[in-house]
Every structure is written in C-alpha cells, then in structure tokens.
Structure 1
C-alpha cells in the first residue's frame, strides 16, 4: 500500500526539526492572521533597541503588512536583497521613521535568525462569491524570521512530482500566494522518490522544463525527499539557497536559483582561493556559466577579504555579446559594483582606486595597460602590480592565449586565475606549440608550486585533471535536463564512399549548391523553426559558413530568392504562416580579415546590409556604429527584452562565419545550419551548443544540419562528443532518421489497432478509449520527431501512411476522449491498476496543426505596451506594436467574437491609460474579466431556470465542444426547482422542463461559455455545436 501524503509530510518535518537542524516546528500556525502575529512578535524581539522597548501599534503593523504584501515574487526578492544584504521595513512613529531589520543575508545559523516550519496552512479564497476558486491547504512551508520563503508541496509515490508543480501553478493562478505568502522565493515538489526545486515566478512564466533536482559534488543525483532535505533544506543550506544562491535578473525581472553544479563550482572556487590555488571550471555550454562566474566573482570579493579586485576578462570579439549586460543586470540588486571599462585609461583608474569591485574588461585593454601605459616605478604601476587580484576568464579555452596569460601573470605578482569553459583544451586539441608555454587548459590554469606536488604527476598519468575544480559535462547536463540533446542531419553530395574519399569539394562552391541549402532552410525546416507555434513564437536559426566572402554571397543570394529572382521560391505553406519569412541579417568583423582575403569589400557590403537592417526595423546604424549594430542584433536574437516578443521586431536567420558561435545565449534559437567543412572538436561543440538552451515544451532538441562531407562530418561530431561527454555520445545525440522512422511505423500500426480510423473513436468502450489515448500520445511524440527531419519533406505526407488532415481528425477526437476520461473534482485518484503506465492528462499535443489567432501572443504584446517606458513609447517600434495588436484583435474578433470583445475592451483601456496597468499582469486582468463574464451568464442561467449554481458551474467547467451529454446532468436535475420555475412559467410539464433545461444549458455553454473559456476556440467550431 502506498505511503500516505500525511506520513510523508510528518517524516519531512521530523527530518527538518531533529538532529543538527535548527528548524522549529510550529503546529499552532495555520492562518494568515496567525502568521502575521508571529512575524510581529519576531520583529519586536529583534528590534527592541530601535523600538525603545515599545511594541508596534496596530496602525504601525499595518504599515509593515502593506510593505510585505508584494505585487510579484520578483518584487519580494528585490526587498530581500536589501541594502548590503539586509532587508528592512519602516514604520512612521510620531514624527520619525523607524527602520526595522527583518532579514539578514549573512546572519545564518548561530545569529539572530529564526527558523520555523509550518504545515497545513489554510489559504482561503478572497471572494466567497467566486464559484471557480476554492479554499486550499498548503503542505509544508519554511519561515525565516516569520516570513515564508520556501514552500513545499508533497505527493505520494503513486503520483508524479509534476502534480505538485501543477498544483503550485494552480494556487498562483488562484491568487493564493498573496499577503505574507507573496514573499516566497523557492518552491520544492516531491513524490518522496523524486524531488525538484524551482524559483518562484508568475504562473505564465513557470515551465516544468526549468525544475532542478539536487546532486552531490560528483554529480550523483539526490532524489529521495529526506536526503534532499538533508542536503538542501537544513540550516545553513536553506538560508543560503534563498539569500545567497539566488540571482535577480533585472532585465527579465526574474528570480534565478542556482542549480547544484553551479553551487558546487562556486564553493570549489572559494575553497581554492583560500588555499591560494588557481584552477578552472568545466561546465558544458548552455549550463549557465555566465551566472556561475558572476557569483564566483562576487563571492571572491565578499568572502575573501584579502582579494582587492576581481577582474572578469573577456575577449574583444565578445564585447558585443551579453556578458557585461548580464553581469550588470545581476549586480543591480546585489552588494558588489560591476564596472565595464570604457578605455585603457578608465581601466587603470578602476584598478588603482581603493574600491573593492568587480571590473569587466577585455584582454586587449589589460594587455595594453600592462605593456604600454603603466610606467615602471610610478605609483600607479606599483599599486596595480601588487594588487591582490583574482582573474575570472570566461570561455577560457580561447579567450586568453598562453602567451598573454603568462604576460599578465608575471605582471600581477599576487594573482589567482579561474577559468570557465564548456570545452577545455586537452592534448588532442591542444594550443599550438610555442616554447615552454602550457598547451592544455589544465596546465594554463594552474600554479607552479602546486604542479610540484608529487601527487600532481600521478593524477596526470591517471588522466585526471588536477586543476579542474568542478566538472559537469554535456552528458550529465542532458541527463538532468539542464540542456537539450542534439538532433543531427548530415546532408551533402550523394553516392559518396564511406570516408568521402571520392568527394569533389568544388560542388559546394557553386550557386546550385547554395540554392539547395537555402531551399532546405526556407521550405523544409518549418518544423525545426517552430512554424506551428504561429507569429511571434517561431524559433530562429544561424547559417555558418567558412569565410566572410561566402557569407556575403549567401546574403546576396537570399535577397534574390526573396525577390523571386532564382529557381527557389518560397512555398505557399510557408507564406501562409509567416508572409514576411525569412527575415535575415548578417554579421562579421569588418576590420579583420578572417580568411586572409582583402577586407576592402567588407565595408561597402556591410553598409548595404546595415541599410537593409535599418529598413526592416526602423534603426539607423551606420558603418561607424558596428558595435551598436551587433548589440542590437544580439538583443533581437536573444528576445529577452519585451520589445522583441513582437514578430515585427524578430529575425529568422543570421548568417555568420564565427561570430555568435561561442558564448551567445538565445534560448529561442533552435537550429544551426553549417555549410562548411568540419571544425576542431571544441569549435563543433561550441557551435552546436547555440541550440541546446531550454525554452518551451516543443523545443526538445538542438537542431544541427550540415551540408558538406556527410561522413567526415559525422565522424568529427562523434569524436567531439566523445571527448566532451566523457565517452557518453549515445546519450547526447537524439535518435537518427532510421531509428525514428522505425519507431514511427510501429506507433502508427498500434494506433490503427486501437482505432483504425478517426471516425471509430467515439464508439469505443471506455477501456478502448484509454488504449487509444495512450497510443495517440506515443504516436504524437514520434510523429513530431519524424517531421523535424529535413528528409520528411522529401516525400508527400500520404506516403508515410497518414496525412496531416487525418492526424488532425484523430487529434480532435483525442481531445474529447481526454476530457471524458479526466477524473472529476475531489481527492485525486491513484494510478490505474495494471502494468501499463497511466494516461498523462496534462500531455500537450506536439504535432497538432490547428491554426488559431494566438491568445497568449496578443496578451504578451499588450504586456509589452504596459511595461514600456515613456521613452520607449516615443519610438517607432512602439507605434508598430500598437498597430500589430489592433490588427490581431480584429482577427480574434472574427474567429471568436466574445473573447475578442473582451480583449478589445481591455485594449481600449490600456490605450487610454497604460499607467493604470503598471505593475499588473495583463494575463491576470484578462483572466479576471473572462471569469466575471462567465460567472455572470451562469448566474443568470441558474436564476432563470431555478437550478443550482454549483451544478451549472460543474457542467461549465467540464463541458467540451461537441459533447452530446452534460457533465453532472443528474445533479443538475436533482437541483432543479420545478415548482419555482412553473410558478413563473405556466403550462410547462416537469418532463418538458427538464428537457428544456438541458437543451438551454448546452446552447449557453456552446455559445457563451466555451468562447470565453477556451483560448483556442474558433467560430469554425460551430460545426460541432448544437448536438443533443
């Protein structure tokens, strides 16, 4: 028999409160009033001196409550970050303002912090008239100084931990995390055997892909809930997690909680620095090295008093990446200064001042300062040379050459060096030989005195990495779902030998080959680029080639394709979804000659490209503003700013040589197309990893398509993956075409067994529908995977045994079956008996192609308007955004007039006074409007027909378009008050009354409720209506 949730809860509380842990169980705290009273008591005890021994008055404490009732979790996080790590509240007492200390980041364990555990907190609904909300009970919450900062939802072993995640998301949607619970920073969900944590965020921002489990230093998973509590939730770890290992991203207004490997790396750097030891962190690309390196740089300053400066070194080519922006965004609510250097003189000023700070600069500036600008014997020279400094080097496999590193290390006599890379240099891909300079990353980031350790050589001989402070490979990251795996397709010349020995490389130089490549990108990559998601939500891609001249040729040829001047045409299927596809740009270094060609042509060609870009986006970049252009291009590709959520502000493709292939982070980038010969192993992994960031539910793999030397390229990829995944190539690559096609054939055959055609589904028995639902979920997964291959588009859909139209018919019946089988309200049932896995009722179809005006997209655009600054409202892109929203609402009005009318009503209010909505989530406002509209029609129906509002609401919550039966019909009939109805409507029989109630409610649900309730409802769905 499964362990009861209460037993799991009790064991967790016991684990937290016994032994070395400092948590105190408070079984007396169950309501918000009791929690506020507890907080009041703690505040008064901790601030006796400033309160002069006088308790807070009710009026004063109301001021505190107002300050601690946050609009968003992020607002709470900003307050918790406080000033120098101390969070205050303020009360007005007589004529003075009294400052009270509420939380201290560094007051851990032995300090004055109070740690309490509560359970079964009662979160009451705000409005007793709300027929859709319910009172809720929380499982376990952890309070620091009386403030709930960590909340835990538990399930028994018969349920997935994701049920706990969905429960939290539902509670947020219902507004349960308000008042004193609005300060929560971290959520934990567990079913006892699998445990995950994630940062608090608004409901629409929560994504199950971003849940993290815990691991020990060796990256062994810790999944058991009691072991997790021991590692993460005891004191001081829990305190550190929410106050020390949380990062606030001001740009995105998000709380970011570090993953375990990031925490282990930071602690490893701290330990090494205390020992006076250098080293490097090997964390796979895409795993958040920038955030890790930021925290490491910050902690070196805070925790190691002897370190005067932390210098974060980047290569000049990376200045137009996001590193500096990310650092400054993270530091905005932190206790350290992050300063970018404008020039060499500015760098020298920052190094010689007495401020303890993080300085972000380039290797080039620092080298010039050391070699040319600092004069020996001057105060500045002596001050800087003797600085106790820690260097943090991003992308350290290439950012600092061995010669430059030695120059800097010889100058800064009191320096420690810490590198961060996803692709270290080993002996097989070493730096070029140059005298006695180090050739591997392990030797480059080491100390000579530690290399003399007798154990060092033994470790080297055992192929260990003595100066690798922490390792987290791509294999481990994919296992933990911290990054995505790769789906590779190797295209190229046909009928080649297994080693490509008969390949004529000149065929790849022809325009015919280039047109094939562009045809593949434009007309065969819709699945890879997420066309099914609709406008504003598609993915983007990079096309990388081997030279600037080649990149320019591709750019010119693509312009000709778009203008209809070549044999390649843009398909009607593509134009129907995105009429303006492809929107493209190019970037390369104008001043350098990457392929030993004359750079004379680069400037006029770039001018032409800039003119195209300016015309596309209303910018005004000239040839002297390449840095600004590259920054704008990077931001546009990253889509992290709200401005770039609009289709009008987005790109589909950027053509590059080497730019953006290292260190660039754009989660919405799904594909790298490579029309070049294979690169070095570290360059292959770096390029591939532009695609492997987690994004949405549909992005399941990074997509890689190569167009030259298919066999050689495959071997090069295998070699690179073996090198950088510690031999785990199989777990890094998604199944190839042959494997997926075989799985597809089996899944389709079994689907036909459960339901030979879509039309037979409604007549299936309940058990038959269960089998069909499971079979269709499995088929949907493999069908989506098959369609993502370029090869899929080489044959007509019917050749695969099922057309898209037939799939859509199956899907429509599947959606009805899922609603029919979904459990009703009440205690959640355990899994179905028997060996088969249960139906996943939360599964979202991936291959469903039903076109719709995207409700979420319109809401996101309106949110961008609400969030815009006064300055942004004067820009052209803002005016374009207004036009775009108006156009989309008009389309929504034609496909769903009722929801469109509500959207129009909200949009008019936003346009009249956008500041009225500042700090509000548009999705919440519109959800409330929809709920009120539905409530109004349901109340009206209940009153008119003299039936129970609860029975009507039950039917409304469960009913699906096309259903012929009303959910809860018996309860509706039992609640019907025929006498009251007949008193107002003479001459109707009881039988006729019951028939009329059912018919009228079906009509109401189809015509008034469903259009307001379902985001993807279309007026076309009327073909399914009025069945009874």
Structure 2
C-alpha cells in the first residue's frame, strides 16, 4: 500500500471542510482574491460597495504590510464617506459574535513575490485569508511544512497588496500529526512554538481529520482568532493560547457566568500561567455582571512583573498598585476594571480602619479574585478576611504545585490544602503533559558525593556525608571547598561554556556567606572567572524551613527595615551590603540595603542580568526558587534539603524551553535528595512518571549515541563516502542521521562523566563528519535551484554553534605556533583549520585564515598578529570587493551603499535592490535569474568579511 499523497490529503481536507459548512471558493491569484473579498465584505456587512468605496477599503487594509498592525486593522471597524458623502462603517471580523462571520475554503492560490509560490489550503473569513494550511505526505517531517511556511513568509505572503499578511494562524500536517501556531512573520521562527490541539483532558488530537472536526470547526476557529489570540505589544507579535490554556480560561468564564462557586487551576510550573491568567482576567473584566477583577500575587516584585507582562499583552489593560492607598483608589474608580496587587496590600485594604470608609462602599459589588501561586503560607488569613469582608465575590487560584494532604502544613491542628481554600479543581495540566508536549524540558539530576549512581563516576568528590546531616559536617570547610571546586569545574560543561547561566541554592544565609566568600577568594587567586552575584533577605525567616518546602518569603515591603533582633541580623546585612558594593563596582550601579526601593531595584537588576546571561552563577537561599522565569538559566546546583512542592518549584527554574541547545534542565545535588525527588514526582504526577520527568542515566545515552552512529555508518561508512551520495534523498538521510548524533552529543556532553572514549566514534571523526554536514548546508544555502528536497531541512546549526570560538580565539592560538617545532606546528595548524571549518560562523573565513597562515604568519611577531590579521583582512576585503564589481559589472558606489545599509539594519537586500547596483539593467526576462545570482554573491561577501 502506497503512502497517501499530498494531493489526496488536500482533496479530503477540502471535502471535509465543505461538509462542515465552509463554502468552496475558486481563487487562482490575487485578482480573484480581491473580487471575492469585495463580495464577502458586502455579504458580511449587508451593504453594497461601489468601486471607489472598495478602493477606500482596500487602501485602508493595505496601508501597512506589517503582520502585527494588520491584526489590529482586522479587529477594528473602518469608517469612510461613500459616493453620496455618507459615513459608512465596515466590519472585517465580528469579534463579539464570532460565529456570525462568512467562511470559505480555497486551495492552490498562486502569489508571486521574490519567488512564485502556490499555497496548499487557505481558509478565508469574510473574504480575508486568516488561516493557511500546509500539508506534507505521510512519513515526512512536520518541520518541512513549517520551514515551507517560513519561506513563504519571506518570499510571497507580503507580496503585492500583502493580503496574506492578514493570516492569523498556520496549520501544518502530514495527515498523522497536525499542529497550529500563530503568524510569526517578522519574528524569529521557532518550531517549538507550534502546538498540538487536545481535548480538555489533554488527550492529543493529531489526526488531520479529527483536528478539522474540532479545531477547524467554524465557530471554534473564529473564537480562537477573536478571543484567544493575544497581541503582544512589546514584541509586536501574535500569541495564540495552547489548548490547556484555552480550556482553563473557558472553565473559569463558565464558572463566573453560571455559578458563584470558586475553583483552582493546576498548571505545572513553566506552562505559561501568566498568559492564561491574563486572558481569563481580560475576558472576565468585560463581563457585564463583573465589577472588578483583582489579580493577586505574593510579593512586590511579582506585582511589578505581572503588571508589566499584562500591559505588554494589552497596554493600559491593568493598573498595578504601588501602595495600599493606590489600591483603595482603584477599587473606588469605576473605570478601573482590572487590578494587579499583592496579597499583603489587599489584606491591609480590608483590615485597616483608614481604608474601610472607601472600601465599605464596594462590599456588595461583584469582585472576582484570581490568585497566582495560590498555596502561599501567608494566604490563609487573607483568604479568611476577603471571605468575611466581601459579600459578592468569587475566587480562583492558579498553581503549578498544589497543596495536598501529603505536603500540607498543619496550623492549629488543621491541614490547609488548595482544595480546602478554592473548592473544585477546574483543569489540570501536569509536568508529564508539559514534557510530552515539549512545553518544558526534562530534568537531568546528578547526585554528587556518595549519592552518585555509577561506580567510578566523576560525580564522586569524596564528600564524607550521606545519611548523616549534622550542621557541623555539612558546613565543614573541607566539604565546602570541594563543592566549590566541583562547581567551578562543571559550570562550563553544564552551561555550554557560558551560553546559559546557573543558580546555586543553599540551606541558610550563613552557609551562603561561607560559599560566597570561598568563590570570591578563588576568583582573586585566578581559579575561575565566573561573574557571581547574590541576594537574600537578612531576616530570620530566610533560613531553610523544610516544613514549607522552602517556599516562605520575606515581603519586599518590609525587608529593608533594619528593625531589631530577632528579625534582622546586622552581620548578614553587613555582608550583603558588601556584596552589593562589589556588584555596584562591577556594573556601575548604586544599590543598597539601606533603602527598600533601592534594594527592590537591586532585585530587579539581578533578575535582568541573569536573564541576559550577564551573571554566570547566582547564589540564593529561597529567593528566585519560585516565580522567577529565565529561559537562559539551565543549571541548578543544590546544597539544601528540598521537599515536595519546594523541590519541584526549585528544579523547575531550569526547564524553560530555549532553543535546540538547551535539551534539558540540569540539577546537580550535593545532598541525598533521591527519595525526596522521587516522592515529589509521585505526588505531582504519578509513580510511573519518573522516566518521563528525569532523564536516563549517562550510560543509556551512550548506548543511544552508538546505535545512532551505526545508522550513520549504514548511510556513509566513511567520511569521504558523503561525497559519493548519489542523490539529494541520500544526502537528506545523511543529514537526518548526523543531526540525531548532534542532538545526542548535546545531551551527553552535559554529564560530568562524558568522554569521547565511551563512544564508538573518535572525536576527530565526529568533527570530520560535522564538516561534511556543514558542506551540505553551504550547498543548500548557495544553491540556485528553485526547488530542492534539502531546502526544507532544519540543520539545527545551534547545536554546532560555540560562543568561545571567535576570530580573536583563533588568533590567540596562532600566536602560539611560532614557538613550536615544524612537525608540531603543522599538526596544530590542521587542528586550527578543522576548528574553523567546524564552526558555522567562521567557515566562510577558512580560506582566508589558511592563506594568512601560509603567507604571513612566519613573518609576524607574536604580539602583532591581531593587528597584522586586521590589515590582511582589509586588503583581502578590498580585493574581493573590486573583483565582485568587475566580474558582475556593478556600480561600486551603489554596492558600497548597499553593504553599509545591510551592516546598519542587518536586513538582507531584495533581489531588486541588488539588481539596481548593476551598471546597466538586464531585460525583464533575465532579471530574476541575475538578481538571485547577485544576491547569493552579496551574502557570501558580507558573511566572509563582516560576519562575527
């Protein structure tokens, strides 16, 4: 039985959509698209438009070609004066009654931009293309369809009038698997931002026929577009909710509309609760029966952070509160429908006499409270006060780690659980769901000391502690020194040489100070060059409280109050002030603990620098172990006892999705937390979930790598065999096979035990195969062929990229050559050139570096290599520029201006722009071919001489 072709898949899809109520439209090109648009807008608006009327509408729709701005146009009505000078309003999309729109399906529409493209299946709403579906035959990678859309977005969606830039959603499918995602045109494409649809129990709906019946059902599709696409103002990007986010919001909305009962949402840490809660809050605030929506967070930093994020989704949609007086004023202001505040300020507003005169007027109003991380220990009293104060309220809680009976804390002999506070669980999406959907990463947990899982492991650092857990032993100088040495050794391994950042959490402020001082001393001794920072509250409650799973936090409003003992320790405050002083010198800042706002701004600055990878290692006790999201943080070193929700929350700082190279969250544990880890996983998922959440031992990945290597050898038995591959299909098989090796090597390289000696392939052979892999990438990138099987392959070059391999690094290696013997020098030169060939950014410079080594290096003193190389490159650049101008008969001044524009804007010129640099313009017949050739040569020139 042959596999189902794209054509059959397309025909079946169209037939199914028509059977589900879509009208079949016959549209071949933009001319047909415009005629259909006029007809459908007339039908939707129940009006007739003259040609001049329609031209005004068209001018409005095409006044911008930006996807984000077009999305705004789509959601607004347009007013114009018709031929009779009457004001006419045109609606492009019914946002409130989303089912009352006109739905059509068409296929194989042809658009011509820099290339001519034909699109598989297009769904039109009111005549406007809003959903584009790209299909691949069964058995092909989904990413091929994704990459095809990426090419269309560059080549033709914005062509001519740019009507295809109104697309809101893309759908890709090979029949068996189907995913959806928002229009990313203008953004950096990321396949990880594509989603499977599910039912409300998180069961995946992947077959195209099933997806069509559920997701592409007319009312549901337009509801997703009108209600569940968020326009992110800061990034100027469209964001669509994932299925679990959609179902959670729907459950809350239904609850408010039909009952007065409370509820909570259990969505695992890292699954995007802020976006979910924003959308729920936004929709609730527009319901006629709701007077206020109050989103409550637990600390001032999250008050700021959440307000900022909410306003990025929708500017002006939320007023953050800076103090309790401001909060009370916003409660009194009828125009303020959505408020973000802290639990502490809310408690003050309903308990302090000076605020009650204003607040009492609101007691009977309908107020919906949404609590972020609703299990906080401080929440109990506030919860009771709100229930006692307001008479017409509803409460909803969001949590990634609910409190059950097993992990609840007894207060006054009673255990407070999430269900006891919020009643029914409305929706759940646990960590196993998120890992399966690739919304978060798995954890690689390594136990260091006597807790290692493999005899002879490099994780053995002879720490004489296991079941014994006395403070004297755990804080002995010898143990702390060994752990510090281990972290310094492993940090570059875990973080891919600083491409990610790490955090070190310890059991108390006193222990943190000991560790931090060790790291300061070791840096002064030249033992490491890590950028370190720390932050902790210096009150007694910052110490490790295991019964809360390390979840108690000092509120920032009172943290800087020097107070008296036992609430503050002057010693710890003095140490923190000294550390902040060093931070101020390093980063030219001026923070202090002596002022609460300054200390709070220090917290924000540290957060920002961790996210931007300016801090390599952050030392914490409790702060940052919950509520802090940084995609660039991939490693957590642990020297404290964690349990249940505290453990999962802490580990989850590492597992945010961030590119191909971040394949897992690394957790390195210096205590015997294996049982605690297993217990936490069992509590928050199930006993069988460990294999899903925790990555396999190192030896298993070695076996996987060697098996993948065997498959590679079956395709290319030797490195030179790659050159003999007879067809693009065979080259594609090699690319896929070696790409799998790259992925596995990326995983195992982060294990402390990794060595190439464990693998069946030698390191040099691996590098040689990598060079062949990159040769194929270069072939695709410079190929003039219009259609190629390899065009749609994702080479995942990120897995090859190394931040520490730069021109400066290479020159530093070259400077050491002159002191070597001839034989040693020749061997080292080959290693350097192989290093250049194996780095994506430097490959274009390989020939020049080789020429420099051969012709110039023997004559140059070691201390002037960098200067001489720069002069050499300037001369070669001018020579290549002159050659480019002469060979292609270009206007040198125009080409120079084009290069300067590229360097300023980083925007690759169009074929038309490079054609304009010719001294004489080609005929229309040859313009396209000549333009594509010139563009390839232009890219090669700038990559070689202006690339990193």
Q: Same fold (TM over 0.5)?
A: yes
Q: What does residue 509 of structure 1 align with? A: 475
> What SS does structure 2 have at the residue aligned with 1:163?
helix
Deviation for aligned residue 1:36: 2.8
1:68 maps to which of 59, 62, 69: 62
Q: What does residue 104 of structure 2 align with? A: 116
Q: Does 2:253 match 1:283? A: no
Contact 1:390 1:415 in 2 (8 A): yes
| Residues 633 and 934 of structure 1, relative CA distance in 2, 3 Å threshold | farther
Q: What does residue 683 of structure 2 align with? A: 723
> What SS does structure 2 have at the residue aligned with 1:428?
coil
Q: What does residue 71 of structure 2 align with? A: 77
Q: What does residue 986 of structure 1 align with? A: none
Q: Does 2:571 match 1:609? A: no
Contact 1:939 1:949 in 2 (8 A): no
Q: Does 2:332 match 1:355? A: no
| Residues 140 and 372 of structure 1, relative CA distance in 2, 3 Å threshold | same
Deviation for aligned residue 1:55: 2.8
Q: Does 2:351 match 1:391? A: no
Measured in 1, the distance between the counterparts of 2:915 and 2:122 equals 34
Measured in 1, the distance between the counterparts of 2:686 and 2:428 equals 10
Q: Does 2:297 match 1:314? A: yes
Q: What does residue 301 of structure 1 align with? A: 285
- Where in structure 2 are the equivalents of 1:191-230 lying within 5 Å? 191-202=174-185, 205-230=188-213
Measured in 1, the distance between the counterparts of 2:759 and 2:117 equals 49
> What SS does structure 1 have at the residue aligned with 2:410?
coil
Per-residue Cα deviation, 1:640-663 (whole angstroms, up to 9, x for no partner): xxxxxxx7xx33232211112112
**Bigger Cα displacement from structure 2, 417-426 vs 307-316:** 307-316
1:683 maps to which of 632, 639, 646: 646
Measured in 2, the distance between the counterparts of 1:789 and 1:719 equals 24
Per-residue Cα deviation, 1:759-792 (whole angstroms, up to 9, x for no partner): 6654677799787655533333322222111233
1:330 maps to which of 313, 318, 321: 313
| Residues 472 and 367 of structure 1, relative CA distance in 2, 3 Å threshold | same
Q: What does residue 476 of structure 1 align with? A: 433
Q: What does residue 17 of structure 1 align with? A: 18
Measured in 2, the distance between the counterparts of 1:411 and 1:186 equals 45
- Where in structure 2 are the equivalents of 1:958-969 lying within 5 Å? none
Contact 2:321 2:339 in 1 (8 A): yes
| Residues 15 and 830 of structure 1, relative CA distance in 2, 3 Å threshold | farther
| Residues 18 and 370 of structure 1, relative CA distance in 2, 3 Å threshold | same
Deviation for aligned residue 1:275: 1.9
Q: What does residue 513 of structure 2 align with? A: 552
Contact 1:773 1:818 in 2 (8 A): no
Contact 1:308 1:356 in 2 (8 A): no
Measured in 2, the distance between the counterparts of 1:614 and 1:18 equals 67
| Residues 89 and 928 of structure 1, relative CA distance in 2, 3 Å threshold | farther
Contact 1:74 1:201 in 2 (8 A): no
**Bigger Cα displacement from structure 2, 769-778 vs 266-275:** 769-778
| Residues 528 and 907 of structure 1, relative CA distance in 2, 3 Å threshold | farther
Contact 2:343 2:379 in 1 (8 A): no
Q: Does 2:694 match 1:733? A: yes
Would you say how many aligned residue pairs link Structure 1 and Structure 2? Answer: 838
Q: What does residue 390 of structure 2 align with? A: 412
Measured in 1, the distance between the counterparts of 2:947 and 2:280 equals 52
Deviation for aligned residue 1:222: 0.4
| Residues 234 and 713 of structure 1, relative CA distance in 2, 3 Å threshold | same
Q: Does 2:131 match 1:154? A: no
| Residues 697 and 375 of structure 1, relative CA distance in 2, 3 Å threshold | closer
Deviation for aligned residue 1:196: 0.4
Deviation for aligned residue 1:343: 1.5
Measured in 2, the distance between the counterparts of 1:236 and 1:40 equals 23
Measured in 2, the distance between the counterparts of 1:592 and 1:93 equals 76
| Residues 906 and 611 of structure 1, relative CA distance in 2, 3 Å threshold | farther
Measured in 1, the distance between the counterparts of 2:198 and 2:873 equals 50
Per-residue Cα deviation, 1:783-839 (whole angstroms, up to 9, x for no partner): 2222111233xx6x56756564442222112333677899995777799xxxxxxx9
2:95 maps to which of 105, 108, 113: 105
> What SS does structure 1 have at the residue aligned with 2:668?
strand
1:1011 maps to which of 936, 940, 943: 940
Q: What does residue 255 of structure 2 align with? A: 272
Contact 2:147 2:793 in 1 (8 A): no
Contact 2:253 2:280 in 1 (8 A): yes
2:660 maps to which of 690, 694, 697: 697
2:674 maps to which of 709, 714, 717: 714
Contact 2:266 2:398 in 1 (8 A): yes
Measured in 2, the distance between the counterparts of 1:163 and 1:751 equals 21
Contiguous gaps of at least 5 residues in structure 1: 126-132, 447-466, 533-537, 571-580, 640-646, 832-838, 859-886, 915-921, 958-1004, 1020-1028
Contact 2:512 2:620 in 1 (8 A): yes
Contact 2:702 2:759 in 1 (8 A): no
Q: What does residue 790 of structure 1 align with? A: 752
Length-normalised TM-score, structure 1 = 0.73
Per-residue Cα deviation, 1:296-348 (whole angstroms, up to 9, x for no partner): 12222224x22211111111254366222111212317xxx311122112212
> What SS does structure 2 have at the residue aligned with 1:74?
helix
| Residues 828 and 799 of structure 1, relative CA distance in 2, 3 Å threshold | closer
Measured in 1, the distance between the counterparts of 2:514 and 2:876 equals 46
Measured in 2, the distance between the counterparts of 1:841 and 1:751 equals 18
Measured in 1, the distance between the counterparts of 2:872 and 2:686 equals 52
| Residues 895 and 104 of structure 1, relative CA distance in 2, 3 Å threshold | farther
**Bigger Cα displacement from structure 2, 90-99 vs 504-513:** 90-99
Provide the alpha-carbon RMSD of the alignment.
4.2
Q: What does residue 552 of structure 2 align with? A: none
> What SS does structure 1 have at the residue aligned with 2:215?
helix
Measured in 1, the distance between the counterparts of 2:744 and 2:632 equals 22
Contact 1:88 1:100 in 2 (8 A): yes
Measured in 2, the distance between the counterparts of 1:316 and 1:420 equals 15
Measured in 1, the distance between the counterparts of 2:271 and 2:750 equals 24
Q: What does residue 219 of structure 2 align with? A: 236
Per-residue Cα deviation, 1:583-612 (whole angstroms, up to 9, x for no partner): 332222256641278421344333333333
1:528 maps to which of 489, 494, 512: 494
Q: Does 2:530 match 1:582? A: yes
2:743 maps to which of 764, 781, 805: 781
Contact 1:283 1:472 in 2 (8 A): yes
Per-residue Cα deviation, 1:11-48 (whole angstroms, up to 9, x for no partner): 222222324x4x32211x33223323333344456667
Q: Does 2:609 match 1:631? A: no
2:241 maps to which of 239, 258, 271: 258
Q: What does residue 452 of structure 1 align with? A: none
Q: Does 2:771 match 1:812? A: yes
Measured in 2, the distance between the counterparts of 1:740 and 1:411 equals 58
Deviation for aligned residue 1:510: 3.8
Per-residue Cα deviation, 1:61-90 (whole angstroms, up to 9, x for no partner): 256435435343222233344xxxx44365
2:446 maps to which of 485, 489, 493: 489
Deviation for aligned residue 1:630: 1.8
Measured in 1, the distance between the counterparts of 2:918 and 2:127 equals 43
Measured in 2, the distance between the counterparts of 1:938 and 1:764 equals 41
Q: What does residue 562 of structure 1 align with? A: 523
- Where in structure 2 are the equivalents of 1:583-982 lying within 5 Å? 583-590=531-538, 593-595=541-543, 598-623=568-593, 624=595, 625-639=598-612, 650-677=614-641, 679-707=642-670, 709=671, 712-727=672-687, 728-747=689-708, 758=719, 762=723, 775-792=737-754, 804-816=763-775, 842=795, 844=797, 846-847=799-800, 851-852=805-806, 897=877, 922-923=905-906, 925-928=907-910
Measured in 2, the distance between the counterparts of 1:153 and 1:615 equals 54
> What SS does structure 1 have at the residue aligned with 2:115?
coil
Measured in 2, the distance between the counterparts of 1:895 and 1:670 equals 43
Per-residue Cα deviation, 1:77-114 (whole angstroms, up to 9, x for no partner): 33344xxxx443656989998654333311322x4x32
Deviation for aligned residue 1:192: 1.4
